A and B are shown apart, each in its own frame.
Chain A
């Protein structure tokens, strides 16, 4: 694996770290099974791409893409909270609807951004050798900023109220927390992050394509779960860190799979190799527990996360 390949995996991993943080909010914190991401990821990309092509500032375009994603998440939550549509179904409806909306926004299934000004071109300029490491560097900054803001929010009064809403809505209501409003806000925040990822993604990949959202939610979920497995934690700053690391690892696995030809594997085996690697990451802690049984009792004790899993 070359350095550029590794940096490329890092770059896309960092972008999907934002997706993972969004999915973390919907699935883990709000306990809201949400598939909107498959639509809000390309939505963010579509809005950003079309604004950039229209000559707007790329940062403004990225921000507007993020706002559009917030809107999509809000609609999903609204369908559930106000109209009583099942969570999963509400998100599927919004996801399907967004396909048409995204086509409308883009005006074509593919909007090219090659040669346009992007948030990256401003720092990279014409230096394409520096692009490989400058882009991931800028993304590290963005992901770190988002993570720190989220960490700060989730220990604030409002953030704690949101976590309480997801943990036990009835209890939260009895404490005077407006749970419906919390779900609306949380889902908007979650999909805003996914759309931000989409907006940044199109700027690194040379354009927005209508098919780019397929599988976003799967990757996001995988990242969250890999993160939880590798770094089980309760403190919120570690939970968000784990999600981001999970996304990075997932992309590293794909990079590894792309380089697996030396053991006789071929291009068509890519998804299978990725699945095996991710599966391995998931059982790693269990294998380790078996190998080193009573060394540390803390490991055997179920964490809050494991308890939740067991309760299901």
Chain B
């Protein structure tokens, strides 16, 4: 019943695929090459990638001209991230840049020889990309987007000096958020304050999670949780009606209506990552470069949002801000 010709199609498809595998791939020996992969595309991660590209350009490695450059996005699919990792390893570029944890893990699990520079990974030690924050001696280094939480709490106190209970809406499925929750609890406890958690596993859960904080929290802190950031407006509505000031971890959310943020600039973090990439392209060993945390933090406040959310920002705080939204 199973015709011979069908098998022929099958085998010829496979043969065609094998044939394609022969073309492409190999890089010219003299030109340096960089491959970049991200688990998903969204504004912060894209900004980080742009930073890397611009830093490479600034150092004389023009993508497409003096540098072989390629970018692949896994479009949110973990298995595809694994396949991209294998493709890159097979292409043997001089440096692979991995944006966010799952992409970095898939790479580090599969190569010990090609330099891997991670970026926008919150806790590279917990993700086992590196053993600690010292030079790894392996093929891995990079830049973490972990925020120093002390200054975050200081900001909360500056916005609302009598705040005791800090509410936080976050997705329990995001490793970066869960780490922040754990560390923020400890940081708040040191100052006699407490954390009130509101879990929102999906974006549609955000309004109800936010409402659960009314009466239980004096102020709401949001981390760089992908779910929360992508649906910030639904949080805003609740915050305004309940007069709960929102304090964010990223400056983009301030433009969208949070009162203030002392946040990471992902573009600058990308440039910082790019500097490491350039050092490796120029011959340094990745194992000799210690992993860093993003250095570029900036304060942004939104006076209009403050009014709507029932707080008055002190003139000192407004003066301190690098940018003021009205």
Q: Is the pair B73, A207 in contact by a Cβ cutoff of 8 Å? A: no
Interface residue A123 (Cβ < 8 Å from any Cβ of B): no
Q: Are A234 and B21 in contact (CB under 8 A)?
A: no
> Which of A70-78, A106-114, A178-186 makes up part of the contact surface?
A106-114
**Quick check: is B78 within 8 A (CB to CB) of the other chain?**
yes
Cα A255 to Cα B89 with chains together (Å): 13
- Of the candidates A5, A230, A234, the one whose C-beta lies within 8 Å of that of B87 is A5
Q: Is the CB of B25 within 8 A of A2?
A: yes
| Cβ B17 vs Cβ A256 within 8 A | yes
Asked, given contacts A219-B79, A254-B80, A285-B6, whether A112 binds B173 with beta carbons under 8 Å apart, the answer is no
A146 at the interface (CB under 8 A from B): no
Set A8, A112, A113: member contacting B86, Cβ < 8 A: A8
Q: Among the listed stretches A31-39, A81-89, A148-156, A263-271, which one makes contact with chain B, having 4 or more residues with CB under 8 Å of it?
A: A263-271
Q: Does A134 contact B (CB under 8 A)?
A: no
CB of B80 within 8 A of CB of A270, answer: yes
Interface centre among B7, B21, B109, B178 (most CB of A within 10 A): B109
Per DSSP, are chain A's interface residues mostly helix, strand or loop, or mixed? helix
Query: Is the C-beta of B316 less than 8 angstroms from some C-beta in chain A?
Result: no
Question: Separation in Å of the A230 CB from the closest CB of chain B?
Answer: 5
| CB nearest to A219 among chain B residues | B79
Interface string of A147-180 (1 = CB under 8 A from B): 0000000000000000000000000000000000
0/1 per residue, B91-115, Cβ < 8 Å to A?
Answer: 1100000000110011011111100
Q: Specify which chain A residues have a CB less than 8 angstroms from the CB of B172 in the assembled complex.
A: 103, 109
Contact A9:B83 (CB < 8 A) given known A115-B128, A205-B78:
yes
| A43 located at the interface, meaning its Cβ lies under 8 Å from any Cβ of chain B in the complex | no
- Contacting pair A110 B102 (CB below 8 A): yes
Partner of A7, one of B23, B26, B86, B109: B86
Residue of A nearest to B26 (CB): A2
A16: B residues at CB distance < 8 A: 79
In the complex where A108-B178, A209-B78 touch, is A258 in contact with B90 (Cβ < 8 A)?
no
CA of A254 to CA of B77, assembled, Å: 12
Q: Which residues of A contact B78 (CB under 8 A)?
A: 205, 209, 211-212, 214
Closest beta carbon of chain B to A166's beta carbon, Å: 21
Contact A255 B83 (CB under 8 A): yes
Which residues of chain A have C-beta atoms less than 8 A from B83's C-beta? Answer: 5, 8-9, 12, 251, 254-255, 258
Is B198's beta carbon under 8 Å from chain A? no
Does A204 sit within 8 A of B, measured CB to CB? yes
Q: Are A206 and B109 in contact (CB under 8 A)?
A: yes
Residues of chain A contacted by B9 (CB below 8 angstroms)? 230, 284-285, 288
A2 and B109 contacting across the interface, CB-CB below 8 Å: no
Is B63 close to A, CB under 8 A? no
With both beta carbons as reference points, the residue of chain A lying nearest to B4 in the complex is identified as A296
B169 to chain A minimum Cβ distance, whole angstroms, is 16
Contact, CB under 8 Å: A9 / B128 = no
B234 within 8 A of A: no
- In the complex, A3 has a CB within 8 A of chain B: yes
Per the 8 Å Cβ criterion, residues 28-51 of A in contact with B are none
Indicate if the CB atoms of A109 and B79 lie closer than 8 Å. no
| A178-215 vs B, Cβ < 8 Å mask (1 yes, 0 no) | 00000000000000000000000100111101111011
- Separation of A16 and B82 alpha carbons in the complex (Å): 13
In the bound complex, how far is the Cα of B81 from the Cα of A215, in angstroms?
13
B5 contacts the other chain (Cβ, under 8 Å)? Answer: yes
The A228-286 residues at the B interface (CB cut-off 8 A) are 230-234, 238, 245, 249, 251-252, 254-256, 258-259, 261-262, 267-268, 270-271, 281, 284-285
Closest A-B pairs by Cβ, 6 of them: A8-B86, A206-B109, A2-B90, A4-B90, A112-B128, A206-B105
Question: Chain A interface (Cβ within 8 Å of chain B)?
Answer: 1-9, 11-12, 16, 99-100, 103, 108-110, 112-115, 128, 131-132, 201, 204-207, 209-212, 214-215, 219, 230-234, 238, 245, 249, 251-252, 254-256, 258-259, 261-262, 267-268, 270-271, 281, 284-285, 288, 292, 295-296, 298-299, 303
Please, could you name 14 A-B residue pairs with CB atoms under 8 Å apart, sorted by A? A8-B82, A110-B105, A113-B128, A114-B108, A114-B129, A132-B86, A132-B110, A206-B109, A211-B76, A231-B2, A254-B83, A270-B75, A299-B6, A303-B1
Extra inter-chain contacts (8) besides given A207-B128, A270-B80, CB under 8 Å: A8-B90, A109-B174, A128-B111, A207-B105, A211-B78, A211-B173, A214-B76, A298-B1
Binding site for A on B (CB under 8 A): 1-3, 5-7, 9-10, 13, 17-18, 20-21, 23-26, 41, 70-73, 75-87, 89-92, 101-102, 105-106, 108-113, 126-129, 172-175, 178, 201
